[in-house]
Structure 1
Amino acid sequence: MGSDDRERPGLRERKKRETRIALSWAAIQLTVERGWDNVRVEDIAAAAGVSPRTFNNYFASKGEAIAARHVERAHAIVAELRAQPADKPLWEAITDAALSQFALGLDPQGETSDQRTAGLKLMLSEPALQAEFAKAYMAAEAEFAEAIAERTGTDVTTDLYPRLVAGAISAAITAVSQQRMRTPHVPMDELLREAFGRLATGLTAP
């Protein structure tokens, strides 16, 4: 088997992920601009440069497409967490993994902080999206829990700890994102460090 043959599966997966991200962001952007009821699947597909059939191969609805951004970021954070040195303290590793995906300016997936804020505002204001985001949060927490269990030598099935930490990570990211909308002058990385730092010390009273 030649090197090109070995590389093709990875290339296909990368292109599929890029298409998924493009569709998700197109759904967010169009819905922010036009309103939830004024965006069709055909519009999203056209904005991403693909056919409606391709959209349907990736998502069952426009709501699922919008919520997919959260799932994609969770995948990236988990990958970064698994890549952290084994001897790094847990909450330091979690903080660094989250910071890698929420840096100021453009993040590794190409979004600006303003675009992330627009997507979050949409999530919070559109009732039709709540169920999709609930499913996305559950999927993200399950991934966080698996990574935490691996890192701490616990069992995600029988031990409470990895799921508790996973829930705390999810809650911290949500709280930080909401706070960022209220205080846009405060850097995202500063808020993330504060949130995870408080969790690391047991979330003692201020």
Structure 2
Amino acid sequence: MGTAGLRERKKQATRMALHEAAVTLSISHGLDKVTIEAIADAAEVSRRTFSNYFTSKEEALLYGDQQRVLRLVETVRERPRTEAPWAALTAAALEFQRDLGARDPHWVTQIRLVRRHPALAAQQVSTYASMEDELTAQVALRSREAEPMQARLMAAAFLVTMRVAVQEWLDRPKGTPLSDVMRESLDKMAAAFR
């Protein structure tokens, strides 16, 4: 078990090194000028090692998003099972956003990169969609009446609302709290599930 744990920690460290290299290089040089080889070199691994972890530079760059969405799903899972589905999603989102930028100092810059590059936007949508099944299960656990399609729609709508809230927040005047925009977005979407 100790060896497996060490191996997993090393894999995670390599994955994070590749992600951080992708972010740093994209910020410094622009995404279009960054190559997989440059990312691998900056992380001090081979091109083959890069390919063992990521299929593209976009995937490496957005690995942080994947980790954030996993934490968000975990936050939803930890909410009380008696909480109504949208209330649980909203509470988890507001709890989650409090430390969103604190964990990754390049988060806002990365989001701005996503806005400028369609390939990154497509990768981000894919990342969010990959968590939809788990969120659907969490919604279904909290609602005896929700049919499977309604649970899936709610989970998908929640993930879209999270993405839209962040994009809207970037367009608001500097100093606008993300929590205000997130609550506003979630409240607007909640009307569809009442």
| TM-score under structure 2 length normalisation | 0.81
Q: Which has the higher helix share?
A: 2
Give deviations 1:94-115, integer Å, cap 9, x for gaps: 12322343225744xx213xx2
Give deviations 1:64-103, integer Å, cap 9, x for gaps: 2123332222211111111111123323321232234322
Q: Does 1:86 align with 2:81?
A: yes
Stretch deviating more after TM superposition (68-77 or 44-53): 44-53
Q: Is the 8 A contact 1:67 1:132 kept in 2?
A: yes
Shift of 1:173: 1.0
Q: Does 1:166 align with 2:155?
A: yes
Q: 1:162 to 1:15 in 2, by over 3 A?
A: farther
Q: Does 1:199 align with 2:192?
A: no
Stretch deviating more after TM superposition (129-138 or 35-44): 129-138
Shift of 1:139: 1.1
In the alignment, the residues of structure 1 paired with residue 132 and residue 5 of structure 2 have an alpha-carbon distance, to the nearest angstrom, of 26
Q: Which portions of structure 1, spanning 4 or more consecutive aligned residues, are displaced by more than 6 angstroms?
A: none
Aligned AA for 1:168? A
In the alignment, the residues of structure 2 paired with residue 130 and residue 179 of structure 1 have an alpha-carbon distance, to the nearest angstrom, of 15
Given candidates 118, 127, 131, the residue that maps to 1:136 is 127
Equivalent residue number for residue 116 of structure 1:
107
Secondary structure in 1 aligned to 2:62? helix
- Structure 1: 5+ residue runs without aligned partners? none
Mapping for residues 85-104 of structure 1, pairs under 5 Å: 85-103=80-98
Secondary structure in 2 aligned to 1:160? helix
- Structure 2: 5+ residue runs without aligned partners? none
Given candidates 113, 116, 122, the residue that maps to 1:125 is 116
> What RMSD in Å do the two structures reach over aligned CA positions?
2.8
Mapping for residues 59-78 of structure 1, pairs under 5 Å: 59-78=54-73
Aligned AA for 1:52? R
Aligned residues: 193
Q: Is the 8 A contact 2:83 2:142 kept in 1?
A: no
Shift of 1:125: 0.8
